[in-house]
Amino acid sequence: MEWKTDALMLGGIDYKDHDKLLTLFTAERGIVFTGIKGVRKPNAKLAFAAQPFAFAEYVLVEKGDNNTVKSAYLYDGFYPLRLDVERFYAASGIAAVCRAIAPDGERLHSLFVATVQAVKELAYAETDPIETLVGYMLTAAGEAGYYVDLDGCGICGSEIDGEPYFDFDAGHFTCAECSVGSRASVSTYHTLRKCAALEYDESKTPGGKKRALRLMKAFLESKTDTELACIGELLQICTE
């Protein structure tokens, strides 16, 4: 059976002499694993479809539990990502988070749109790549049921003015008076609010980007039991 889908290529591994196995993210079926034949040969016509972050219409042949790419039409290869190492790593972080939280075989239209939009923003917009990645991680966490509450103290409901704490189990911040969870920083809290498009204090964000990314990495790893290694590598190379 043939079926057609728009998909974002999240990753691939070499298989046999000239083939690859791809991980595609689709709106209709979530994560889909598929083979693509001959794509590592010189001048292979479908080489573009096996490139990281290729956004294309894929025609797949399904046989039992296996899929094979028959043809593809490229919408966007997001080439500028290959010219900026920090943006490339941030896009790789998006792909890793998506693979960690997106189930196989489920319709995930809103997460699909958010994922493609985040990669597009990294490729073409002048926004900060770390903030784009953190914003995506907040959105993806919510889509997966791991919502991060940034609306004041998760226990008493008061505004967080002083040093905050973050409860990894509950997914919310608490004030110094309630002090449940691990100690965070004011800059982390306001940077996360900025990335979530909430009201924030710009004077309290300096130094918060890497802290916010580190917190979201730890939070999603704890919820998905998946190591987001590429985000760890990004933390080592990114500038504040």
pLDDT score of 123: 97
Q: What is the 3-state secondary structure (H, E, C) of 112-142?
A: HHHHHHHHHHHHHCCCCHHHHHHHHHHHHHH
Q: Give yes or no for a contact between 90 and 235, defined as CB atoms under 8 angstroms apart.
A: no
How many Cβ atoms from other residues are within 10 Å of residue 175's Cβ? 21
pLDDT band at 100 (very low <50, low <70, confident <90, very high): very high
Helices and strands (H and E) in the chain: how many: 6, 8
Convert the pLDDT of each residue in 123-154 to its tens digit.
999 999 999 999 999 999 999 999 999 999 99
Convert the pLDDT of each residue in 66-99 to its tens digit.
899 999 999 999 999 999 999 999 999 999 999 9
Q: Give yes or no for a contact between 184 and 215, defined as CB atoms under 8 angstroms apart.
A: yes
Tokens coding 78: 């997001």
Convert the pLDDT of each residue in 146-205 to its tens digit.
999 999 999 999 999 889 999 999 999 999 999 888 999 999 999 999 999 999 999 999
Tell me which residue of 115, 121, 124 sits closest to 94, measured CA to CA.
115
Give the CA distances from residue 15 to residues 1, 24, 34, 49, 52, in Å, rounded to whole numbers and listed in that order: 23, 16, 11, 15, 16
Q: Give yes or no for a contact between 98 and 10, defined as CB atoms under 8 angstroms apart.
A: yes
Q: What is the residue-averaged pLDDT of the chain? A: 94
Task: For residues 189 and 238, give the distance between their C-alpha atoms in angstroms, rounded to a whole number.
Answer: 19
Question: What pTM does this model have?
Answer: 0.95
pLDDT score of 212: 97
